[in-house]
Structures are given as structure tokens and as C-alpha cells.
Amino acid sequence: MKELKLLLAFKNKAKLNAGYLLSLAISIVLGLLVGAAIMAMGGHNPIAGYKAMLSGALSSKTAVGNTIAKTATLCLTGLATAIASQAGTFNVGGEGQLYFGAMASALLGAKLMGVSPIIGVPLCLLAAIAAGAFWAYIPAVLKVKMNVNEVITTIMLNSVAIYFCAFLSNGPLKTGERGIASGTAKINTDLAFPKVIRLSNLTTSIFLSAAIALFVWYLMKRTTTGYELKLTGQNPRFAKYAGLNGGRLMILGMLLSGAICGLVGMFEVFGLHKRFTDSVSNEFYYDGMLVAMIMRYEPTGIILMSFFFGILKIGGTGMEMIGIPDEIILIVQSVIIFFMAAEQGIAENLIARRLRKRAAAKSIGKEASER
Amino acid sequence: MENKPIVEFSHTSLQFPDVLANDDVSLAIYPGEVFALVGENGAGKSTLMNILYGMKQPTSGEVFVKGKKVVKQSPAGAIAMGIGMVHQHFKLVPSFTVAQNIAMCCEPKTKLGLYDFKSAEQTVRKMSQEFGLEIDPSAKVNTLSVGLQQRVEILKTLHRGADVLILDEPTAVLTPQETDELFAVIRGIVREKGMTVIIITHKLNEVMAISDRVGVMRRGKLVGVTETEKVNERILASMMVGREMLFDELDRHETSGETAIEVENLQVLSDRMLPAVNGVSLTVRGGEILGIAAVEGNGQSELIEAIAGRRPSRGGSIRIKGKDTAGMGPGQVRSLGLSHIPEDRNATGVSGVATVEENLIIGKHRQREFAAAGIHQKKSAIRTYAEKLFERFDIRGAGVTTQAKSLSGGNMQKVVVAREFSLGADVLLIAQPTRGVDIGAIEFIHKSILEKRNAGCAILLVSADLDELFRLSDRMVTMFEGKITGHFEAGEIEKSEIGYYMTGGVEEGEDA
């Protein structure tokens, strides 16, 4: 399971500092080098390959639009992971929350025929928030009240949500329209987010995404609530002693996380598909979770790193155009993650070795002086 | 006991990065005796035994076992030399049977090379009869009581041929009945098998009950070795904690206030769900310090945690300034005007990864002064406030924006004191305020506590340091096994006498 592998890789919780950023830079360079080596082995010119990647992601208006849309999705899902983890809970269930948000908003959107966007869009936003938050509330309450590990429950609830939604969209709630293999009824298109750049995936939901990202950043970094969430996550014992209600804060973190995921689902439906389909997400949440973990749940870092991963993901199509398989991108990505996961171990090893050397030198000096 | 020592330490020292855990210890232990090693927490008793068991290497000095000098000992080497150790936390496989645990590492094999369970069980059955340690060899360890698990540990060391048995705080996890049974077992194996037993403890009544000789450790040094029958608990207690007064007289005004803390017949369970506080009643008025003198693990920590709302009480009542706190959490209790310095600053008193200023502002962080509308943090106001406290409480470190864990223990404690003393509370629960703190900081913290007292705060103080208690308290109570055993006004009792009540002696006549 992808999510379990990720968990094993990133069980540590180090801080984002200069040393860490250096490791990150080295990992990215190594990742790109490994990608280059593989391209060269396949008889491709690596420089041309990476050029194609960049132009695939940034050279045309459509490409830029797609990259920005991808960045927004990564960024929101990443921030959703971060806000739950700030309170010390690990939300692995964003994918399911995303599906629920998408399904709830799609169903409501299809019901609101003839309703003006000024009323309809906020209603659908609320539906997505409620559905996503609800699906995060279950594991949160189980954790706080009965001490059930949220990693296990959120992973399980992912499957429940994904298959339940698939059942609905292929079964009882399947649209009656001809030529549609699966999916719910089409939403009121007046409520849909129009494209900002034609032919790209960039819709007006980007403005909402930006607002959400800003809000989450502000909440995490500048408010008393963010401060309380952080202290709870860092040391629950201390937080409790100091009088914070750790349980309530953990639930709040999860609710916010689930709400954001629900909104991501809605943006997919109201921006692109106009109905719920099984393909509403392609493991979008895990990509964001990865970005968040690599950036140590630091909101500013997540926003920046999302852009880099957005370029990688969209740039793959550019490489395809000159005949380089876009799986190279997956390799680059994996190598970066591999090194970042090993980062702590490698760094600790280097530090320990230096300390041992210093201690040895000291004891030799001491012995000499004693004689 | 004219024969040669079976274990001998000769000028053994062990230097840890910041403390000298063992300081020039010379000690001989003879075959066939029960030797008790006593001392406060951190006095170096366990460290000394870990050296003997090969878990730690001395930085200087020598260790001899059965006349042979031990070099670069490992636990495996120690076991081979006949030394067995039962740790405070058992090292058993819970899902294995008793026999499987005992036979581990030297499993009997059948002719086919498979594990011979029957033979293992037989061996264990034979041993348990031989040593008088009754146990069912086929029972799974996770179904056994703690006392029986300890028995498995002892059998395990015997099975490996140990003739020197080290028991690290063996009674800490036991009920009184189990303790009696353990002592019977120890007497049996010493008398019948000529074993040597070294028992680490800080319960003086147990020392008197079980040991032939006793060694007292204090701050890494062995301060005395004597035959147990020549001393009593009072003498041992004063040897354990005795140290000179180093400080000036503190400024003390006469004050009297209303009753602020009222505890009545309180019952509290420990983490192991055993009764830790067993019917404690006490009151503290404004303007006085009530000190609780108790040896670690006698319910004083649980008492403080229950009053602070951090631990549920199972019976009795707690009233803070007249309000019953039943069902309240720490936040609600604090809102009644209570501050709390916890005994464990690293795990509870601060968040090590948070910055110093984040640690200083908590409790006040939602006040208007530091948060617009209670939401938007005013970073500069927080910074100014934290810097003010940093200076006033003489915290030494790189500044308020560094992580709290980068501070030394004493300065970390000053962060806790600074925060808790600046919340405007007038009921203070203070536990181990100066543990591991250097002398200068101790003096400062003592003065701060006295200032609070003189300003009319009601203070409940728990400390393992008798000097501190005698210096600060207006009144004192002693606690032993969850009960109050004595009640004294300042000046009414000597330091050397109080140990008697801390170790189970009961005041004659009136009750506390």
C-alpha cells in the first residue's frame, strides 16, 4: 500500500532548518541526476529531456494553466496534511474525504437546477466542507475518545469512501444520460467554475484555492488557535498540563483537514468533470501528503514545493512529445523521496561519526596529559 | 564473613557527560550475604550495578568478580561469571510460556534438533521446587501477575547459573503481600543455596527487613557501609539525604489568609491502577507553605496531579478556594487561580521543541494584550513580555527565540517558574522545584517561592530534598504509601527525625 510505505519512510519529525533544506537541495539534484542517467542509458539526451519537461510545464499558456492547477491541488492537500499534523494527528484519509466532498457537492449541484451561482456555489462549498469534515471526524473522535490509532482508521476509511462512492455513481445514483458509462447526474452548469485559461485545467477555483492556502497559512502561523494546535502536537502532556484541551484541538485539526480535502474534491467536480466520476482523483491526496512530509509540514515550504512538483508532474507530457517516457518523472520523484526519507539516518550517521572522532581525539589528549 | 569477597569495586568512577555518576566507589560484597544498596534517585546505585552487570564501563577504577579482575565486561560476560540481574522493567517475552522464557538462549533440543518443550518444562519444574519458587511452567507470561513475572526473571537468572543476584528496585511494582513473598524467596535462596543477593532500593523498612549489610550512596559517592543491625531507619535516612545548609536565612513575614486548598479523604490511583493516594486530607491557607516530605513513589506525585486536575480522583474531594474541582480538567482548575510547577519539567513543564517565548506565553496567550480579539497573535507584544520575564527571572540562554530544549536544566526550570509565577495565581502547587538545578538557581527559585508566600499565596510544596522542605515550609506533613504519617510545625522536628515518618513510622497519639 502506497500510504503505508510513505508512513514507514517518514516516521521522524525533524524541524525544517538550514541543514534540512541543504539535504533537500542535494536530494533534488541527485534525483535529477539519476533521471538524467536513465535517460542517457535509454539513448536520450538528458538536457533535451529536461528542457522538454520545462517547456511542457511552462512554455504555453495551456501548460502554465495546467501547472498552476496542479500546484493548487498539491498545495491544498499538502496543507490539509499539515494542519492535522500540527495538532499531532496524521490524516492519511484525505483521499476518502476528497471523494466524499466531491460526491456531496456533485449531488447537491445536480439538485440545484436554475439556482443562481451566488446562492448555489456557497451551498455546494458548504456541502463539500461538511462531507469532508464528517469523514475526518470519525477517526478523530475514535482517536480522542477511545485511543484508536488514526493512521489505521483513516487508511481504512479511504477504501470505504472510494468504493462507496463508486457504488453510488455506478449503481443507484448513476446518471440516466446516454453514453456515460459511470458517474452521477450532471450539475447545474451555471454553478461550475469557468476556465481561466482555455483548454487548460485552470478554473476560477484557483482564487478560492489561493484564499484557502492563505487562510491555512495564517491560521497555522499567526493565530492563537494555530499556536495551541502546535503545542498540542509537539507535547500533548505539556499542553494538557498547561490547560489546553488537547482532544478538542486534535478534532479541530482533523475537521479542518477533512474540510480542505472535501473542497479539493468539489473543485475537481465543478471545474472539470461537472459530475462525480470514479476518476475524480488520481491519488491526489497522497501526492500532497508527500509534499507536506518532505517540507516537514511547514506551510510556506509546502506552497513552494507544490510548484516544483507541479512542474514535474505536468512536464512529463513535454517529455513524452520528444519520445522520452514520462515514467522518468516518477523515477526522479521517487529518488528525491528516497533520499529525503533516508535523510535523517544519513545526517545522524555523519554527525555521530564526527562526534566519535572528536571524543576519541579528546580522550587521547586527556590520557596524554595525565601521564 | 571472613572469606574473600565475591564482588569487589576498587576506586570505581563513572563520568557521564554532565555528572559524575559514580565517584571513587570502593566496596566489597561477600558470598552468602544480602547486601542492600540505598540512596536517593540519581545517587548512582543503579549505575554501580550496571557496571557490575557489564552494561556500563567504568571510566576509572577496577571491578573484581570472584577474585578475577574484570576488563571490558559485557552482560554476556557477566552472566558467564555467575552474575544475574533482574531489572526494574522486566525483559520477558509476554506471549511465551514461563518455561520458554526461562530456557531462552539455551533451549533443550530433541534428537531431531527441534525445541524440546517437555524437557524445558521439566527443568523449570525441578528448579522451582528446588528453590521454592512456585510457578506453572506452561503458563503464558502475559497471564501472570507482576510478582510472578518477577519470579520468572529470578528463575531465568538462576537457570543461567547465577550465584550473585542483583535486584533493581524489586518491590517498586509489588503489593505488600508480594513483597513478603519475594523476601521469603530471597532468604530461602541465600540460606539453602548460598547465593549472594544485592538489592537496590530506597525503602528503608525493606532494608531493615531483608539485608545483612547496607551501603548508602549519595551523589555518586558511597557514604557509608555498615551492618544492618547496627543502624536504624532514622540513621539511614539522614545518611541518605544529609547535607549541609548552604543558604542565607530567607525573609519571612507573618501572614495569614483564608483556606485555599482543602483536600479531604482523597483516593487516587497510580498509572498502574494501584492505589497511590489513600485517604489523604490536608488544608493550605493563604500565606503559608505546606511541605510534603516523602520518599519517591509514596503518592505525593499523584496527589499533586490530582489537585492540578491532571489525574482523576477516585474518592474524597478537593476544593480550591471553596470550589469543588470534581470532574475538572487542568484548564478549568487553573482558571480558579491555580498555578503548577510539575515535577518533570522535560516531559511536562515545557515543550522542548517550542521556543522559549512560546513556553512563556502559554496561559496568557489568549489575553487581549497578546492576541487581538483572542485570535490574532501580537508577536511583538509577546516578544516584549517574554524578554521581560527572561530578564527578571535571570534565565540564561541564547534568547527567547531559541528552542527550550537548548537551555540547561536550571534555566529550563526558571522558564517554568517564570511562567507559572507570572500568571497572577494565588494557589501554587510546586513539585521538585530545584531538582537538578545548580546552587545559584536554587537560591533564586527559593527566594521567588518565599516572595509568593509573603504576598499571600497558598503554596503546597513537594520535594525530595529535605533541606529545601525545612528551609521553605511553614508546616510539613510526611507521606508514606499514600497516607499521611506525620504533621509538624516548622521547628518542631529535626531533619534526622523526619526520615522515620517518611519510611512508615507513625506519629504517636493524634492523627494528622
Residue to test with chain A: of B57, B59, B362, B376, most A Cβ within 10 A: B362
| Residues of chain B positioned with their CB less than 8 A from the CB of A224 | 365-366, 371, 374-377
- What are the residues facing B129 on neighbouring strands? none
Report the residue from A223, A241, A245 with minimal CB separation from B377. Answer: A223
Backbone dihedral region of B435: left (phi > 0), alpha (psi from -120 to 50 degrees) or beta?
A: beta
For B394-408, what is the mean pLDDT? 85
Which pairing describes strands B313-320 and B371-372: parallel, antiparallel, or unpaired? unpaired
How does DSSP classify residue B115? B
Region of poorest pLDDT, from B241-250, B338-347, B376-385, B386-395: B241-250
Query: Does B408 have pLDDT greater than 60?
Result: yes
Give the range among A3-7, A21-25, A163-167 with minimum mean pLDDT.
A3-7
Q: What is the pLDDT of residues B187-199, one digit of tens each?
A: 988 988 889 999 9
Hey, CA dihedral for B389, B395, B399, B400, is it positive or negative?
negative
Left if phi > 0, otherwise alpha if psi is -120 to 50, otherwise beta: which for B390?
alpha
Which residues of chain B have a CB within 8 Å of the CB of A245?
A: 329, 331
Please give the helix or strand (H or E) that residue B201 lies within, else none. strand B196-201
- How does pLDDT run across B250-281, given as a tens digit for each residue? 667 776 788 999 999 999 998 878 899 999 99
B75-82's contacts with Cβ under 8 Å and 24+ in sequence apart are: B78/B52, B78/B53, B78/B54, B79/B157, B79/B160, B79/B161, B79/B162, B82/B161, B82/B162, B82/B163, B82/B164
Min distance B494 CA to chain A CA atoms (Å): 35
- pLDDT tens per residue across span B478-500: 998 899 999 998 888 877 778 77
pLDDT reported for residue B244: 41
Share of chain B above pLDDT 90, in %: 44
Which triple of cell numbers denotes residue A188?
Answer: 447545474
Which residue type occupies A355? Answer: L
**Can you tell me the distance from the alpha carbon of A42 to that of B483, in angstroms, rounded to the nearest whole number?**
79
Secondary structure element (H or E) that encloses residue B269, with its range: strand B259-269
pLDDT band at A371 (very low <50, low <70, confident <90, very high): very low
| 3-class SS string, B373-442 | CCCEECHHHHHHHHHHHHHHCCCCCCCCCCEHHHCCHHHHHHHHHHHHHCCCCCEEEEECCCCCCCHHHH
Res B89: pLDDT: 76
For residues B47-60, give the mean pLDDT: 89
d(CA B473, nearest CA chain A) in Å: 25
> Closest-CA residue in chain A for B342?
A241
Grid look-up 534565565 returns B395
Q: Nearest residue on chain B to A241, judged by CA atoms?
A: B330
Contact present, A239 and A122 (Cβ < 8 Å): no
**Residue B175 pLDDT exceeds 90:** no
With an 8 Å Cβ cutoff, are B329 and A230 in contact? no
Neighbours of A171 (CB within 10 A): 9
Interface test with B, best of A217, A221, A241, A358 (most B CBs within 10 A): A241
What is the average pLDDT across A234-244?
A: 94
Lowest mean pLDDT, pick from A178-187, B5-14, B377-386: A178-187
Q: What is the ipTM of this complex?
A: 0.82
Q: E strand or H helix at A109, and its extent?
A: helix A94-111
A89 in Cβ contact with A254 (< 8 Å): yes
Please check whether residue A152 touches B, CB under 8 A. no
Question: Is A235 within 8 Å of chain B by CB?
Answer: yes
Q: Is the pLDDT of residue A213 over 60?
A: yes
Q: Grade residue A38 by pLDDT with cuts at 50, 70 and 90.
A: very high
Is the Cβ pair B377, A227 closer than 8 Å?
A: yes
Distance from CA of A255 to the nearest CA of B (A): 19
Is B246's pLDDT higher than 70?
A: no
* Per-residue pLDDT at B243 exceeds 90: no
- Please state the pTM of the whole predicted model: 0.73
Predicted local distance difference test score (pLDDT) of residue A15: 61
| Mean pLDDT, range B334-356, rounded to an integer | 92
What are B124-174's pLDDT values in tens digits?
898 888 887 888 888 888 888 878 888 899 999 988 888 999 998 888 767
Report, as an integer, the average pLDDT of B100-115.
Answer: 82
C-alpha count within 13 angstroms, C-beta hemisphere, residue B50 = 14
In the predicted structure, residue A12 carries a pLDDT above the cut 70: no
A vs B: CB pairs below 8 A: 69
Q: How far apart are CA B511 and CA B483, in angstroms?
A: 11
Which residues from chain A sit within 8 angstroms of residue B404, using beta carbons? none
- A222 touching B, CB under 8 A? yes
Read out DSSP for A154-223? HHHHHHHHHHHHHHHHHTTT----TT-SS--PPP-GGGSPPBSSTTSS-BTHHHHHHHHHHHHHHHHHHB
- Shortest CB distance from A222 goes to which of B330, B374, B376? B376
The answer to whether A224 contacts B374, with C-beta atoms less than 8 Å apart, is: yes
Query: What does the pLDDT look like over B63-92, one tens digit per residue?
Result: 999 988 888 888 888 988 999 999 877 888
Which of B342, B350, B358 shows the shortest C-beta gap to A227? B358
Strand order in the sheet with B313-320: B275-285, B259-269, B313-320, B323-324
Question: Considering only CB atoms, which chain B residues are within 8 Å of A230?
Answer: 354, 358
The closest CB to that of A241, out of B330, B335, B379, belongs to B330
CB A235 within 8 A of CB B346: no
The reply to whether residue A227 touches residue B365, judged by beta carbons under 8 angstroms, is yes
Q: Using an 8 Å Cβ cutoff, are B207 and B36 in contact?
A: yes
Distance CA B156, CA B100 (A): 10
Q: Among partner residues B330, B354, B376, which is closest to A223 by beta-carbon distance? A: B376
What pLDDT is stored for residue A359 in this prediction?
59
Distance CA B27, CA A275 (A): 82
| Whether A97 contacts A268, CB under 8 Å | no
Note the pLDDT tens digit of each residue in A60-97: 999 999 999 999 999 999 999 999 999 999 999 999 99
Which residues on chain A are in Cβ contact (under 8 Å) with B365? Answer: 224, 227-228
Which grid coordinates are listed for A171?
A: 449503481
Residue B95's pLDDT band (cuts 50, 70, 90): confident
| Model pLDDT, residue A4 | 53
- The chain A residue lying nearest B353, using CA atoms, is A234
Pairing of strands B213-218, B458-463: unpaired
Nearest Cα to Cα of residue B153 among B243, B84, B60, B72: B84
- In which residue are the cell numbers 536544566 written? B409
What would the pLDDT profile of B278-297 be if each residue is shown by its tens digit? 999 999 999 999 999 987 78
d(CA B298, CA B263): 17
Whether the CB of A176 is below 8 Å from some CB of chain B: the reply is no
Query: Which residue, B310, B304, B265, B261, is CA-closest to B285?
Result: B261
Closest chain A residue to the Cα of B371, Cα to Cα:
A224
**Residue of chain A whose alpha carbon sits nearest to that of B334:** A243
Q: Is B279 exposed, middle or buried (0-12, 13-18, 19+ CB in 10 A)?
A: middle
Residues of A in contact with B377 (CB under 8 A): 222-224, 227
Are the C-beta atoms of residues B101 and B93 closer than 8 Å to each other? yes
Q: What is the mean pLDDT of the segment spanning A143-164?
A: 94
